[in-house]
Every structure is written in structure tokens, then in C-alpha cells.
Structure 1
Amino acid sequence: MRGICKEEDYSFLGISEQTTRGTTEGGGALEDDWRDRREERVRRRLEREQQERERLQEIEESKKEKQQQWQSHVAELTSSQEKSLQDRLTRLRRFRDFQRKVLVEESGMEGEAACLTVDQLLTRM
């Protein structure tokens, strides 16, 4: 019944069935184009999301790498400073021993009294 009504409508409007079939087929092509465009938009959106995730992952890796480099740099500086302080302490102790030895020899005193006097002199310095 519906088909008959369509034919009558087309004949009333002066449009042939062949034209309407072409339009219907063309409508299918439009629908296919619309689906293709929609799928393309979805695909591009997914690609953008994937690229964004990769970019964020690279940023995180870069931050971790920089943090690790900074920590190793700080550890290296601390180690070198500790070594420098230990070397300085050793040199100071040697110099104090040398001073003590020289002062004991110059004072000409021997024993416990000489050590106390030398320690007092070194403390004053």
C-alpha cells in the first residue's frame, strides 16, 4: 500500500521512479559518507588521545630522569665535600702534631709539664 502511495505522490509531483531510486541510492551514499566522516573523526580523536598519552608519558620519564640526575649530582657533591673535609682534617692534625713537636723541642722541657704548657700555647693560637 505504501509503495502505491509513493508512486502516486511521485507521479503527482512529476518525478519519475527512476529519479527517486537514484535519490534513495544517493541518500545511501550520503549516509555512507556521513558514516565514513564520523569514523574518521573518531579515529582522529583516538589518535590525538594516544599522542597525548605518549606525550604525558615522555614528560613523566623526563621528570624522573632529571630527578635522578639531580640526586646523583647532589650525592656526588656531598661525597666530594666529605672527602675534602676529611683531607683537611688530616692535614690540620698533622700540622698540630708538627707544632706540638716543635714547641716541645724549643722549650727544652720533657715530660708531663711540657705537654701541658704546649697544649696551653696551642689553645691560645
Structure 2
Amino acid sequence: MTHLKRFQGIPMSKSMRSLCKEEDYAFLGKSESTTKETTEGAAALEDDWRDRKEERVRRRLEREQQEKDRLREIEERKKEKEQQWRTHVAEVSSSQEKTLQDRLARLRRFREFQKKVLGEDSGMEGEAAGLTVNKLLTRM
């Protein structure tokens, strides 16, 4: 009957109290002492949970920042390569244009040389000789 006195504060019907034994209430005694521990433990768990959540958020932000940095570096490299390519193309086209200008100048000098030689060989002078030489050069 000691259990009746011990757990009298628990709301329960009279018929139920008589049926229950002390063992049935034993968990209540344990739960009262563990309730304080549980509240302290729950607070500690909640602090740990918050810490872990903050850590996860911090790591996520770090990953996002690293990803942004990586993408920015990739963009910079891409722009740099594009600029190098443009410079290369400009240099190549410039050298090709210079080469073509040089060839054109050489061809003009050669054509003048041919006109002069053909004019001297034919022995003609003046405009008539110029027209004949041009016709001969055109056939060649």
C-alpha cells in the first residue's frame, strides 16, 4: 500500500488504483528524475543541433562561394583564351596581308620589267608599242 501513498498525486480512478501495483508506477518515479536530466539533455541536444545546423549552413555558404570563385576563374580563363585567339588571328591576318602586299609589289615590278624587255625587243616606241606589249603580256 505504500505505492498508494507515494503516487497519490497521479490522477486515476479509485478502482484503477486498487488494481495497480507499485511496479506499474515504477516508471513514473524514474521518469520524474530523468525528466530533469532529459530537459538538460534536450537543451544540450538542441544546442548541438543548432551548432550542427549552423555548421551545415556555413559549409554550404563556403561551397557556394567556392563554386562562384571557380566559375569566375573559368570565365576569366575563357575570356583570356578568347583574347589570345583574337590577337593570334589579328597577327596572322596582318602577316598574310603584308605577304600579299609584298607579292603584289613584286609582281608589279616584274610586270614593269617584262614590259620594258618586250618593248626593247620589239624595237617599238610610244603608245603603239605599249598596246602591243600589253596584248603580248595578256596572252602570256
TM-score (ref. length: structure 1): 0.85
1:45 aligned residue (60, 63, 68): 60
Where does structure 1 differ by over 6 angstroms across 4 or more consecutive aligned residues? 9-12
Partner of 2:122 in structure 1? 107
Aligned residues: CA RMSD: 1.9
Partner of 2:92 in structure 1? 77
Q: Partners in 1 of 2:112 and 2:47 — Cα distance?
A: 97
Residue 95 of structure 1 aligns with an amino acid whose one-letter code is: F
Q: Partners in 1 of 2:88 and 2:66 — Cα distance?
A: 33
Following TM superposition, by how much is the alpha carbon of 1:119 offset from its aligned partner in structure 2, in angstroms?
0.9
Following TM superposition, by how much is the alpha carbon of 1:60 offset from its aligned partner in structure 2, in angstroms?
1.0
TM-score (ref. length: structure 2): 0.77
Structure 1 unmatched ranges of 5 or more: 1-7
Q: Partners in 2 of 1:15 and 1:89 — Cα distance?
A: 107
Q: SS at the partner of 1:15? A: helix
Q: What does residue range 25-36 of structure 1 map to in structure 2 within 5 Å?
A: 25-36=40-51
Structure 2 unmatched ranges of 5 or more: 1-8, 11-24
Tell me the number of residue pairs that the alignment of Structure 1 and Structure 2 aligns.
Answer: 118
User: Bigger relative contact order, structure 1 or 2, given CA contacts below 8 A and separation 6+?
Assistant: 2
Residue 39 of structure 1 aligns with an amino acid whose one-letter code is: E
